Amino acid sequence: MKIHHLNCGTFCPSCQRLLEGKGSWLQSAKMCCHCLAIETNEGLILVDTGLGVQDVLTPKHLGRTFRSLMRPKLELEETALFQLDQMGFNRRDVRHIILTHLDLDHAGGISDFPAAKIHACSTEVEAALRPHWRDQLRYRAKQFDFNPKWAATINTTDDWFGFENIHRLKGIQEEILLVPLHGHTRGHCGVAVKQSSGKWLFHVGDLYMDRRSLYGKAPAAMTQCENLLAVDNRQRLGYVKRVRQLIDEHGDEVEVFCAHDMSELNYYQDA
């Protein structure tokens, strides 16, 4: 197994000083969409897809609110499809896509890989395909209008480092798990990937957006964003506490990172 860390969407919201706690009041902050491309003997597995070709070519599909607040760069070179092509792969090599959740900045690229099986928590798929009116800004119907191959997950009573009701994925031989971390969205999950070394990578999606949030040290504006974007913030904060405990107690066995912290992405890409 070989794992590539990709940025499949750069976002430049206003006021670096407020959101990052440093830099200029006039400069933009910088956020990424940290995705994984996993090479296996059976083909490629993607964990999240970021923005896709359709989103870049037709930005109105993302909605005016998202574009105004997040100010995405919208570059074809950042799409997973383009990056995999540069690595010598093609879209047919992607056999499975695993989504932490289906927010528009995480699931936009699934249409670039129409033959892939899409794995996500069933609660999340239901929420995205039949969104409550309050969720219509985060889920975009245009991203799901190509008849995706949804793959039902196997709900279990298993636990993983104390996290209960782990979802196992059909058709994937590698030890990759969907770990419920609900709260940001109704079916938000982390994706745990066991590396060849035996150590786990744990992609926690949008459980937090700034690593300092795990210890209550993120800038107030960033903390407020994390709170406001959650459909159940009390539930989300409960999982934040549990992930912090996971790091403190099992940091030698599990590496944790989120989707949008640029410093975490840089750590893996520079390694």
Put simply, whether the predicted model's pTM sits higher than 0.85 gets the answer: yes
Ranges of beta strands (E only) in the chain are 2-7, 34-40, 43-47, 94-98, 117-119, 149-151, 153-155, 159-160, 163-164, 167-169, 176-180, 189-194, 200-203, 254-257
List CB contacts of 87: < 8 A, sequence separation 6 or more. Answer: 4, 37
Question: How confident is residue 65, by pLDDT bands cut at 50, 70 and 90?
Answer: very high
Q: Residues 146-194: pLDDT tens digits?
A: 999 999 888 899 999 999 999 999 999 999 999 999 999 999 999 999 9
Q: Residues 194-245: pLDDT tens digits?
A: 999 999 999 999 999 999 999 999 999 999 999 999 999 999 999 999 999 9
Q: How far apart are CA 29 and CA 24, in angstroms?
A: 9
Superfamily in which the 2-270 domain is placed by CATH:
Ribonuclease Z/Hydroxyacylglutathione hydrolase-like (3.60.15.10)
Q: What residue spans define the domains of the chain?
A: 2-270
Backbone torsions φ then ψ of 257, nearest 5 degrees: -150, 160
pLDDT for 150 equals 97
* Mean pLDDT across the chain: 96
Q: How far apart are CA 35 and CA 260, in angstroms?
A: 10
